[in-house]
Every structure is written in C-alpha cells, then in structure tokens.
Amino acid sequence: MRRVDEAVREVLADAITKHVKDPRVGFVTVTDVNTSPDLRQSRVHVSVLGDEEARTACLEGLRSAHGVLQREVGRQLRMKRTPTLEFELDDTALRAARLEALIKDTVDGSEGTA
C-alpha cells in the first residue's frame, strides 16, 4: 500500500498545482495519503499555509475540485479502481509549533527561578 499511497500523493501534488484553478486553493502541501486496502478510498492529508479561515477555504476548494483530482489520479495511475478522495487538514505543524512554544515557556520560566 505504501507504493500506492506515494504514487497518489505525487499525482495529487502535481495535479493541484496544474489543474486546480480555484482561488481558495493557495499554498498546499500534500503531506500524506492513506489508501484503504480495497482501493476504494484515499484519505489525503494536506498542510495549508495561512490562518484558520484560509485553511478552511482551501479545504473547501480542494473538496470542490475532487472530481478533477480523482480523474487525474485515475488517468495517470491506471489502477483497478480509482479511490474516492477525502481531504483532511494535517495539523502536525501547528501541534509542533504549539509544543515548541510550551517547551520554550517552561524553559524560560525555570531559568528565572534558578
């Protein structure tokens, strides 16, 4: 499945930049793809640059471009089944930044008491 996931990720990353003309879709990175064993669904994790409003709008834009992107995956990969694409925000970068800020606050607070 790893090969299928990576192939779908590459096709989508390219297709989003070339075929999606929706102005809501800005700076998007396809971070991961998880395809079900029966190849019926692919969960696409994307990272979007911007605030919460921009991320939500971008996700809506990707969902509305679902047909174009799914067609491109089917055309390029020629799989037995073309998986249905489900887009989700990948909040790993946000969680990492939040964790980093907490660590920094803890370290800064402990330096003042020592």
pLDDT given for residue 80 in this prediction: 84
Question: pTM for the full model?
Answer: 0.79
- Please provide residue 10's backbone torsions phi and psi, each rounded to the nearest 5 degrees: -65, -45
Say what the pLDDT of residue 112 is: 58
Q: Read out DSSP for 15-59?
A: HHHHH---TT--SEEEEEEEE-TTSSEEEEEEEE-S-HHHHHHHH
Q: What is the pLDDT of residue 70?
A: 93
Matching residue, tokens 């930044």: 97
Please give the chain's pLDDT, 114 residues, in tens: 899 999 999 999 999 999 999 999 988 999 999 999 999 999 999 998 888 899 999 999 999 999 999 999 999 998 888 999 999 998 887 788 888 888 988 888 776 555
Domain 2-113 sits in CATH at 3.30.300.20
In angstroms, the CA 90 to CA 68 distance is: 22
Domain ranges of the chain: 2-113
